[in-house]
Structure 1
Amino acid sequence: MILADENIGQSLIEALRSAGYAVNSIYETARGISDDAVIIRSRNPPQLILTEDKDFGEWVFAHGIRDISVVFLRYDFRDTDLLIATLLELLRTRQPDLFGAFTTVGVQKIRIRRL
């Protein structure tokens, strides 16, 4: 299951849902909640936090939050279609590897760091 942060665009959410992924959208259900509230929601049931917010890197690496799974998207808006294809392929081939990790996804590079 995926928990899409408030900053994730509807086109990306729709692409994930169309591919069969269950996506809970903060924008649709709890707009305006804090990052720590997103983290709490991501824990039960365990969900991948999909975000474009660099603050989640700070939560993990500076504050030592380890019991979450983050997929951080870095891309230019013009590359949205390519990013969607990259993300779908990553989920299809390596989804179990994304849990318990901080994953950075760009159109040219993917980095998975275990927590």
Structure 2
Amino acid sequence: MRILANENFPGDAVEALRTLGHDVAWIRIDAPGSTDIQVLARATREQRLLLTLDKDFGELAFRSQLEANSGIVLLRVFPPIPARVVALATRVFQSGRDFAGLFVVAEAGRIRERPLPVPPGGTSKD
């Protein structure tokens, strides 16, 4: 799976996903200091699933109607200790599910998902 890990995502988790065979680009290395809008635009442009610990991306997709058709996975880990993020990210991505077009919130005990809105002039994954 093609993934774009947000700047706040731990390096250990990026490496764990790469070990599972995923193609993971990481904002912290590629484009540190990018705004959330720039990160979301890159994920869409490169057709990468956006992986983050930052709930602001849900706001951008749902309230601001910015295109996010590649999908967004928000991991909710409190506190965001790298080992806990690695464990949750591994569990989510070992499922082999296609998260394109979805906003996914993953927590220790559950995974919720809902379709992302199609912005005016945008296209859905179907």
Structure 1: tracts of 5 or more residues without a match: none
- TM-score normalized with structure 1 length: 0.87
Write the deviation string for residues 9-54 of structure 1: whole angstroms up to 9, x where unpaired: 0111111111111100000110001111111111132111001111
Cα pair distance change 1:18/1:62, threshold 3 Å: same
Structure 2: tracts of 5 or more residues without a match: 117-126
Greater helix percent: which structure?
Answer: 1
| 1:31 correspondence with 2:32 | yes
Number of equivalent positions: 114
Q: How does 1:1-115 map to 2 (within 5 A)?
A: 1-68=2-69, 69-77=71-79, 80-96=82-98, 98-115=99-116
**Mapped contact 2:4–2:50 kept (Cα < 8 A):** yes
Matched position secondary structure for 2:39: helix
**Mapped contact 2:7–2:28 kept (Cα < 8 A):** yes
Runs of 4+ residues deviating >6 angstroms = none
Letter in 1 for 2:64: H
Q: Distance in 2 between matches of 1:73 and 1:38?
A: 16
Identical amino acids, percent of aligned pairs: 32
What displacement does 1:109 show? 1.1
What displacement does 1:57 show? 1.2
Q: Distance in 2 between matches of 1:20 and 1:56?
A: 25
Q: Distance in 2 between matches of 1:39 and 1:79?
A: 24
Write the deviation string for residues 38-92 of structure 1: whole angstroms up to 9, x where unpaired: 1111113211100111110110221123433110010123765454334323323
Q: Distance in 2 between matches of 1:73 and 1:51?
A: 6
